[in-house]
Amino acid sequence: MKTVVSGIRPTGQLHLGNYFGALKNFVKMQNDANCYFFIADYHSLTTHPDPQNLHDNVKNALAEYLAAGLDPQTTTIYIQSDLPQTAELSLLLSMHAYVGELERTASFKEKIRKHPDNINAGLLCYPVLMASDILIHRADFVPVGKDQEQHLEMTRKFARRFNTIYGVEYFPESMPYNFGQDLTKVPGLDGSGKMGKSEGNGIYLADPDEVIRKKVMRAVTDQGPTEPNQPMAEPIANIFAIMKIVSHPETYDFYLAKYNNCEIRYGDMKKQLAEDIIAVVAPIRERIADIKANDVYLREVVEAGAAKARASADETMRNVREIMGIKPF
């Protein structure tokens, strides 16, 4: 049976990008694989959250992911900091991670650009910790969105390097996963780029229907095509990209044909898109509040998850320590 691992930083509400980029793929695999899903609270410390808020953010992320379809019966769901074995593995792997390659990571360079006042060593070592999350369970697949591709490449590099240095075939090649297709990038509705928390352009799974309608109707458009089969400007391509992900294929084909013969009415298309998004989001939103209010259930989920995750992690750490020459007296 294949092992699948994924995680998310508890830094805000879950949006359509998180859902379609990562979670939906994970949920589809829950019955056919050995699945681990964790809330990456260690990773969120790189941006210094207020200690007062951290726990609530973790709880919120957990409740939203459960509402969106994570199943504690089939998936081991845990909080990253409940598995300090990950931190130990990260320390050990960091001995074979070179500062130069960490400095060249795209996400690190972006952080330097955006937050030049907070370039801490935790940010530099982010990919090593992420590799440890994945390798602690020796994952075969990691369902993530396109923005995580480079982190997955680095995970494989660290795994191969470990195997080569110690002459073992211990760590697998963990592959990003999106049901046999390219990784998904859900664009924003503000004209360019991806949908993201830090981009402030998210449609959230907790958004009420009216808010979703407003956000979609505000999406950037243009005057419309003036000749058949005209290439789309980025904001229009983005609306079509979201429709392709969310709506029925026939709906998408219908509006594409309208665009291609210059009969598109963006207002109609957006109304349809908003309703199709609501059809996905509303049932999830309705579950979020109930789950969030149920502290007993949440505690049961993470306690059972931590125990199962520890069993898998302890085995890995026993092996890794031995391979590296750390042995009991």
Residue 33 beta carbon to ligand TRP: minimum distance, rounded to whole angstroms: 14
State how far the Cα of 139 lies from the Cα of 27, in Å rounded to an integer: 16
Nearer to ligand ADP, 8 or 243 (CB): 8
Cα 56 to Cα 49, 61, 65, 196, 204, distances in angstroms? 11, 9, 14, 20, 17
Question: Rounded distance, CA 39 to CA 52, Å?
Answer: 17
239 binds, among ligand TRP, ligand ADP, none (CB under 5 to 8 A by kind): none
Nearer to ligand ADP, 196 or 225 (CB): 196
Minimum CB separation from ligand TRP for residue 150, in Å? 10
Rounded distance between C-alpha atoms, residue 307 and residue 328, angstroms: 24
Which of the choices ligand ADP, ligand TRP, none does residue 194 contact, using the CB cut-off of 5 to 8 A by kind?
A: ligand ADP
Identify the three-state secondary structure at position 36: strand
Contact 7, 133 (CB under 8 A): yes
Minimum distance from residue 8 beta carbon to ligand TRP (Å):
6
Region of residue 196 (left: phi > 0; alpha: psi -120 to 50; beta: else)? beta
Count of positions on this chain that bind ligand TRP (CB under 6 A): 14
For the CB of residue 41, give the shortest distance to ligand ADP in the complex, in Å: 12
Does residue 41 sit in helix, strand or coil?
A: helix
Chosen from ligand TRP, ligand ADP, none, partner binding at 17 (C-beta under 5 to 8 Å by type): ligand ADP
Is residue 197 annotated as part of the catalytic site, yes or no? yes
111 is catalytic: yes
Q: d(Cα 248, Cα 125) in Å, to the nearest integer?
A: 41
The first and second tokens of residue 100, run together, are: 């130069």
Window of 5-13, 26-34, 56-64, 113-121 that interacts with ligand TRP by CB under 6 A: 5-13
- Using rule CB under 6 A, residue 64 touches ligand TRP: no
Q: Note the residues at the interface with ligand ADP (CB under 6 A).
A: 8-9, 15, 17-18, 21-22, 144-148, 184-186, 194-198
Of the candidates 28, 146, 157, 194, the residue annotated as catalytic is: 194
Q: Does 154 bind ligand TRP (CB under 6 A)?
A: no
Pick the catalytic residue from 28, 146, 157, 197: 197
Q: Which of 59, 111, 185, 270 is catalytic?
A: 111
- Partner touching 5 among ligand ADP, ligand TRP, none, CB below 5 to 8 Å by kind: ligand TRP
Q: Is 59 tagged catalytic? A: no
Beta-sheet strand order (sheet of 3-8): 75-79, 34-39, 3-8, 141-142, 175-176
For ligand TRP, the binding residue among 3, 4, 9, 23 (CB under 6 A) is: 9
Contact 285, 206 (CB under 8 A): yes
Strand partners, 223: none
CA 133 to chain centre: 13
Q: Which active-site residues does the annotation give?
A: 111, 194, 197
Footprint of ligand TRP (CB under 6 A)? 5-9, 40, 43, 130, 133-134, 142, 144, 148, 151
